Amino acid sequence: MYHSCRQLLEMTEARKVPIHEIVIENEMKNSNLSRAEVIENIKKRYRIMQTSAERALEQPLSTEGGLITGIASTQYRYSKSGSTLCGRFVNTVMARALSCSEVNASMGKICAMPTAGSCGIVPAVLITIGEEYNKTEEEVIAALITASGMGTIVVENATVAGSEGGCQAECGVAAAMAAAGAVELSGGTPAMSMEAFSLALINVMGLVCDPVAGLVQIPCAQRNASQAVNALLSADMALGGAVFPIPADEVIDAMYKVGKLLPVQLRETAMGGIAATETAKDITDRIFHR
């Protein structure tokens, strides 16, 4: 059993196994399920992620107020244009993250990873890396398990709720989870996964939760896209040898304390940030009062 990043890393190093192996065993003990049952449960969630990451790429979905209708298909077309600044791969990752958000906003089925508001980050990153680098489904699922294991540590020791810790606790933690999984999927060590996790989380430290009209659309969807990219760059930094001097557990603790310091207006109440702008107020009035 592990309750911290340090314990998880020590277990992987002592047994010379990847993170996902320890996470599977931990889940078996906690759930009284067999290894096959644990993996099958993850596969079911992975199928939901695959569907939501693809569903809005070609056909716009109807969302409340039309706030993010069509953003995934627009980004996806651009990804194939041959004239992007970040290239086809990164733009495809963003499009898939936006697709999950669009599915969520249209009341479709998504897998909260770790929350509904951040549901596109982990799927977009891991599915696209798997596709781009010809990884097997088993390898992608192993990376997904690694990401999940890192997320459980945050849930146990801090929060993944925007209402408690701001968007850093939702999209930020999702980016950190995706970064850790991306490192494993790319052949990195457990220590590198921990570095990537920390790097992704510090990159978004202090991010507020300010949904326009109180809906999980703006800026949630856009942050799914940006934090998917955060996950990629953090993974690349770790794979390239970057070492962050603050341990992952301390980064999680810092994120939690920062979240507690945020005023209530910046924690999912739609009372601050861009949700309090004049245009956002007009949007709210248009959707709910006209």
Query: d(Cα 125, Cα 120) in Å, to the nearest integer?
Result: 9
Distance between first and last Cα of the chain? 54
Distance CA 124, CA 54 (A): 9
- Other beta carbons within 10 Å of 39: 19
Cα–Cα distance measured from residue 191 to residue 74, given in angstroms and rounded to the nearest whole number: 37
The confidence score (pLDDT) of residue 107 equals 96
Residue 183 to residue 236: CA distance in whole angstroms: 8
- What pLDDT was estimated at residue 176? 99
Is the Cβ–Cβ distance between 175 and 230 less than 8 Å? yes
Tens of pLDDT, residues 119-160: 999 999 999 999 999 999 999 999 999 999 999 999 999 999
CA distance 144 to 146: 5
Q: What is the 3 state secondary structure string of 166-186? A: CHHHCHHHHHHHHHHHHHHHC
> Among the residues of 2-136, which ranges form H helices?
5-15, 19-31, 35-58, 71-79, 87-105, 121-132
Whether residue 96 contacts residue 227, with contact meaning beta carbons closer than 8 Å, is answered with no
Euclidean distance between CA atoms 30 and 11, whole angstroms? 17
- Looking at residue 72, its amino acid is A
Q: What is the pLDDT of residue 9?
A: 98
Q: Which residues of the chain have pLDDT under 50?
A: none
Distances (CA, A) of 27 to 10, 37, 175, 254: 18, 10, 22, 27
**Closest to 229 measured CA to CA, from 258, 251, 199, 253:** 199
Q: pTM higher than 0.85, yes or no? A: yes
- pLDDT of res. 262: 98
State the pLDDT at residue 27.
97
